[in-house]
Structure 1
Amino acid sequence: MNKKIQKKYIIVKGRYVNVFAIISSVPVIIFWRGVWGFLDIFLFPQNKLYSVISSITIGFVLMFFLDLWFNHLGESLRLASANLFSVEREIVKKKQKGERLKILPMI
């Protein structure tokens, strides 16, 4: 994207944050309305109680596994960033001491 257009977009978006929030929330609401309609038709259509209970159960199970996955992902990213910063600190220390850096080939 052109830098001038990108800068103008950021300025407009900053001025009309609430308008962008309303505009972007409409497709989300329409999507979930479609999901609920789909579940009403295909997930125990003859019994509303079973449909609601199974929807809640499936939702909680999915949220549980997503939470586990995001916690694992967050921990992995934290460890990776810690390793990256420790390598960066070593490079800075060696540069300050005037030592020459060894560049290893990528595998």
Structure 2
Amino acid sequence: MNKSHSLIEKCHRVYKHTVENPHPVIHSILIGTAVVLFWRGMWGVLDLYLFPENEALSFITSIMLGILILLIHDGLRKIDELS
């Protein structure tokens, strides 16, 4: 019990030191890994549920949804700049 408690405390100290004294390389690796894992999961879910019987339609729909999201985001940003 004592060993696991000290291991948890050591991990907490390392984590706290990393968060309080951010190092750009560590944060870049952490954020990059999180983004890749997120998109890997999203692609897996889309492969299963978005037109699973028709890959071409699934890919085209995904591209169109992505473009639509980017256009909406850009439009909202431009509206915000006008305010």
TM over 0.5: yes
The structure with the largest helix share of the pair is: 2
Unpaired runs of 5+ in structure 1? Answer: 77-107
> Does 2:65 correspond to 1:58?
yes
Q: Tell me the equivalent position of 1:79.
A: none
**TM-score with structure 1 length normalisation?**
0.56
> Does 2:53 correspond to 1:46?
yes
**TM-score with structure 2 length normalisation?**
0.70
- Alignment root-mean-square deviation, CA: 1.8
1:3-26 Cα shifts (integer Å, max 9, x gaps) = xx8xx92xx32xx21111101221
Greater RCO, CA 8 A, separation 6+: 2
List structure 1 runs of 4+ shifted beyond 2 angstroms: none
> Structure 1 CA distance, aligned partners of 2:73 and 2:24?
29
> Structure 2 CA distance, aligned partners of 1:27 and 1:57?
24
Unpaired runs of 5+ in structure 2? Answer: 1-15
**How many residue pairs end up in the alignment?**
66
Larger of the two Rg values belongs to structure: 1
